[in-house]
Amino acid sequence: MMSAEKKHMALAICTGCDIGNCIDADKLTDAVREAFDGISCISHKSLCSEAGLEELRKFTREKGVDRLGVAACSPRVKTAEFSMDGIYVDRINLREQLAWVMEPGEEDTQMCAEDQTRMVLAKLDTIKENTPYLPEQVYSDVLVVGGGIAGVSAALEGAAAGYRVHLVEKSDRLGGYAGRIYKTPYNEIDLSARTSEVMSHPGVEVHLETSIESISGEPGNFFVAIRNSDSATLKVGSVVTATGWKPYDPDKLSALGYASPRVKTLEEFEQSVQVEQPPDRVLFVLCAGSRDENHLSYCSSYCCGAALKQALYIREKNPGAEVYIVYRDIRTAGFQEEFYKLVQADDAIFMTKGVIKSVSDLGNEVEVVVGESLLDEQITLVADLVVLATGMVPNTTSDLKLQYRLGEGLPELEYEFSDSHFICFPYETRRTGVYAAGTVRAPMDMEMSQEDGAGAMMKAIQCIECVKRGEAVHPRAGDMSYPELYMERCTDCKRCTEECPFGSYDETDKGTPLPNPARCRRCGICVGSCPERIISFSDFSINSVSAMIKAVHVPDEFKEKPRVLVFVCENDAYPALDAAGVHRLRYSPFVRIIPVRCLGSVNKVWISDALSHGYDGILQIGCKPGDDYQCHFIHGSELTEQRGENLQETLETMMLEPERIQTRFVEITDHHEIQEIINDYVEELELIGPNPFKDM
Ligand code: SF4
Ligand code: SF4
């Protein structure tokens, strides 16, 4: 962190790791001294070594440095080494994104190093002192919604970690779906022991037959209005929602004969077997509506195991019974394989691979025709009862009654589950401080739900502690900056409130944004969306990026020296660029790279600034959008695509070719594509010719 008063800016150049062989560090120092009056510079042949760091610390102490540019390796490495108390440090990536990808000793490579260094120093010159957002009061209690396995597990783990938990369950008992199960032979969860433990735990307040009337506020300060016989308000710091699942609607499975009284679902059979003797011939249809594009395209992961378990119930209760299991694949992951083998060993349980062709109620029995069997024959089976292994659908989360302008529930994502990023951040939802656990998050069995409850609770606790320190949660964990709005110039256009993926802004009736900084994930999308350019972070603002753009020396002559501004998303695209460096994949020295929090944070004004400054083209590289998205900020990449249309208008107004601005999306592993993307784009630009504003 920086001290209140600006003191002194400095540059430290490392000449190790090929940097010194690639560029002339003395010339770089001269270029920087010319641009920044009074700046102090140092260079070292191995800046991150003990000796290098010692020299750097001495240098910063003696010069009274409060802002330091470190021209060395990528900011993704050696973070701890180059962190210094009281100094705002930014990194100039002269290793992965210059020395390892550009021709050594060339004039163009040297110019690139000088530009990239001036850019970061120009940014350092604009940043403001950061005052973290620290709410006066941060509540440490956690609300858990839903008393099934995941909710009970979350509550017990939270209480064990010393946090007070309010467990709200709308029914009159705990246990959820699992509490209605007859037997659980292949897992070791003692649900009744877990529910008794939670009921008697001094750190958990259980609210049965309780509904939520509203949840308002932000992480650290959520106000939860609940209603049972009385009304009350709970004050909590974060929320775990574990509202569970329901079976897929069997009425949609008429092709599998569900209209017949001789056809039941797994859930219906689980209940009936507790009170009725099972018949002599029972046939299970696995994947009933699952892994089927017309119904649920995913695997619900629990149903194979549940059907095998029910086959055993039948054999226990009616030893003369025969059971048929028709499957497409049997999926019994992990130790459940042993249970599968146990069921297979029963001579009266017949398993056959195939696809159901028809299910016909013949009046006193059901005829099931199975095709595409292992023997490639059509077979006909007859049973007294057919059980459909239907899949899992998450329960609605609208019961959370979130007082957010973007809706009362969690946004339902792919297949209606509410996890916001299955790949990188399980449990995170699009509402900061609200974590999803168990089957409302993803299909899973009881054991996984139990672990999931614990995992989500850890995230909920982490969130409270981050808010206490004024830090962001994932994916910018530890970031202490937050968006500040210069409201005098706000036109109530609602762009920020509508485009914030996390519902961070509420708004007045008039449409004026009301920020909730603790809900913010610091993506900067609102910086990109605001047409009045009044939203900024202390170290990421319209001014700081404009200063970077203008710090580049754009040569007048175009021939062989075009200039390309590249906005690179810090999440996946930047690491991919670094990996291109690690693989020594050469690309053009005409690029000037600006890392951004998200491609959605790019404000239109930076594009016009760059074009007016004489850049010949602008390339934006971000994470892949779409349903199987990689975008860490949900729809930043999609917004970039939408805003692209407006940008084309800007180009038209400036009488410039639309191809000058291009956007590409990559995955973190796409380092080969990065090389191609950059080189192809620069080639294309050379054909288009120079930006006419260059000479003005
Ligand atoms: S930075 Fe991102 S999360 Fe924060 S308010 Fe702006 S758009 Fe919302
Ligand atoms: S985008 Fe900017 S001008 Fe529009 S409502 Fe938000 S802060 Fe105000």
SS (H, E, C) 583-631: CCCCCCCCEEEEEECCHHHCCHHHHHHHHHHCCCEEEEEEECCCCCCCC
Ligand 1 in reach of 521 Cβ (< 6 A): yes
Q: Where are the domains of the chain?
A: 1-130, 142-244+395-469, 253-388
Give the integer Cα–Cα distance in Å for 491 and 597.
25
Segment 435-464, tens digit of pLDDT: 999 999 999 999 899 999 999 999 999 999
Nearest CA to ligand 1 atom 2: 523
* pTM attached to this predicted model: 0.90
For residue 534, how far is its CA from the centre of ligand 1 (angstroms)?
A: 13
- For the segment 608-628, the average pLDDT, to the nearest whole number, is 88
Q: What is the mean pLDDT of residues 562-578?
A: 95
pLDDT at position 2 over 50 = no
Whole-angstrom distance, CA of residue 114 vs CA of residue 531: 32
Band (630; pLDDT cuts 50, 70, 90):
low
**pLDDT surpassing 60 at residue 196:** yes
Percentage of the chain with pLDDT > 70?
96
Least confident of 76-85, 103-112, 335-344, 675-684: 335-344
Residue 4 is predicted with a pLDDT of 44
Half-sphere exposure of 112 (CA within 13 A, CB side): 32
The number of the ligand nearest the C-alpha atom of 526 reads 1
Mutate to test the pocket of ligand 2, among 485, 495, 601 (most ligand atoms within 8 A of CB): 495
- Ligand approaching nearest to the C-alpha of 494: 2
What is the model's pLDDT at position 3? 44
Q: Which pLDDT score is estimated for 631?
A: 76
Quote the pLDDT of residue 1.
Answer: 43
CATH code of the domain occupying 142-244+395-469:
3.50.50.60
- Identify the architecture of domain 1-130 in CATH: 3-Layer(aba) Sandwich (3.40)
Could you say which ligand is closest to the alpha carbon of residue 500?
A: 1
> Which of 484, 520, 533 gets mutated to test ligand 1 (max ligand atoms within 8 A of its CB)?
520
CB of 523 closer than 6 angstroms to any ligand 1 atom: yes
pLDDT-wise least confident of 39-43, 314-318, 330-334: 330-334
Q: Does the pLDDT value for residue 67 go beyond 60?
A: yes
CA distances to 134, 486, 520, 605, 642 from 483, rounded to whole Å, are 13, 10, 8, 18, 23
What does the pLDDT read at residue 627?
65
Q: How far, CA to CA in Å, does 14 sit from each of 30, 41, 279, 552, 649?
A: 15, 11, 79, 21, 43
Contact 528 CB / ligand 1 (< 6 Å): no
Q: How remote is the CA of residue 674 from the centroid of ligand 1, in Å? A: 28
Ligand nearest to the CA of 536: 1
Q: Is the pLDDT at 536 greater than 90, yes or no?
A: yes
pLDDT at 360: 96
What is the whole-number distance in angstroms between the Cα of residue 128 and the centre of ligand 2? 21
To test ligand 2's pocket by mutation, which of 405, 487, 488, 493 has the most ligand atoms within 8 angstroms of CB?
A: 493
What residues are in contact with ligand 2 under a 6 Å CB criterion?
485, 490-496, 513, 529-530, 532, 534-535
Specify the pLDDT at position 169: 97
101 pLDDT exceeds 90?
yes
Rounded to whole angstroms, how far apart are CA atoms 302 and 323? 19
% pLDDT > 90, the chain:
80
Return the ligand 2 atom nearest residue 526 CA. 1
Tell me the pLDDT band of 140, cut-offs 50, 70 and 90.
very high
CA 498 to centroid of ligand 2, rounded, Å: 10
Distance CA 356, CA 375 (A): 15
Banded pLDDT at 425 (limits 50, 70, 90): confident
- Residue 555 pLDDT exceeds 80: yes
Question: Residue 343 pLDDT more than 60?
Answer: yes
Question: What mean pLDDT do residues 148-167 have?
Answer: 98
Secondary structure (3-state) at 4: coil
For atom 2 of ligand 2, the residue with the nearest CA is 530
Report residue 559's pLDDT band, with 50, 70 and 90 as the boundaries: low
504 within ligand 1 shell (Cβ under 6 A): yes
Same CATH topology for 142-244+395-469 and 253-388?
yes
CA 403 to CA 409: how far, in whole Å? 9
The ligand whose atoms approach the alpha carbon of 535 most closely is 2
Q: What is the pLDDT of residue 629?
A: 60
Distance, in Å, from the CA atom of 200 to the CA atom of 597, rounded to the nearest integer, reads 46
Return the SS3 of 665. strand
- Closest by Cα among 594, 632, 587 to 610: 594
**Mean pLDDT throughout 289-303?**
91
Q: Say yes or no: CB of residue 526 within 6 Å of ligand 1.
A: yes
Residue range 209-233, pLDDT digits in tens = 999 999 999 999 999 999 998 899 9
Q: Is the beta carbon of 524 within 6 A of some atom in ligand 1?
A: yes
Q: Which atom of ligand 2 has the smallest separation from the CA of 505?
A: 6
As a CATH number, domain 253-388 is 3.50.50.60
Please tell me if the CB atom of residue 500 comes closer than 6 angstroms to any atom of ligand 1.
yes
Average pLDDT over residues 138-150: 97
CA of 241 to the centre of ligand 1 (A): 23
- Give me 364's structure tokens: 């006193």
Check pocket membership of 502 for ligand 1, CB cut-off 6 A.
Answer: yes
Nearest CA to ligand 2 atom 7: 490
Could you tell me the distance, in angstroms and rounded to a whole number, from the CA of residue 261 to the centre of ligand 2? 59
Looking at residue 371, the DSSP 8-state letter turns out to be: E
Q: What is the pLDDT of residue 420?
A: 66
Is the beta carbon of 485 within 6 A of some atom in ligand 1? Answer: no
How far, in Å, is the centroid of ligand 1 from the Cα of 522? 5
Tokens of 166: 């309010």
**Ligand lying nearest the CA atom of residue 501:** 1
Protein residue closest via CA to atom 1 of ligand 2: 530
Q: Whose CA is nearest to atom 7 of ligand 1?
A: 500
Q: Tell me which residue has its CA closest to atom 4 in ligand 1.
A: 520
Over range 250-265, report the average pLDDT: 95
pLDDT of residue 141: 98
**By alpha-carbon position, which residue is closest to atom 8 of ligand 2?**
490
Q: What's the mean per-residue pLDDT of the chain?
A: 93
pLDDT at 6: 55
Collapsing DSSP states into helix, strand and coil, what is residue 39?
A: coil
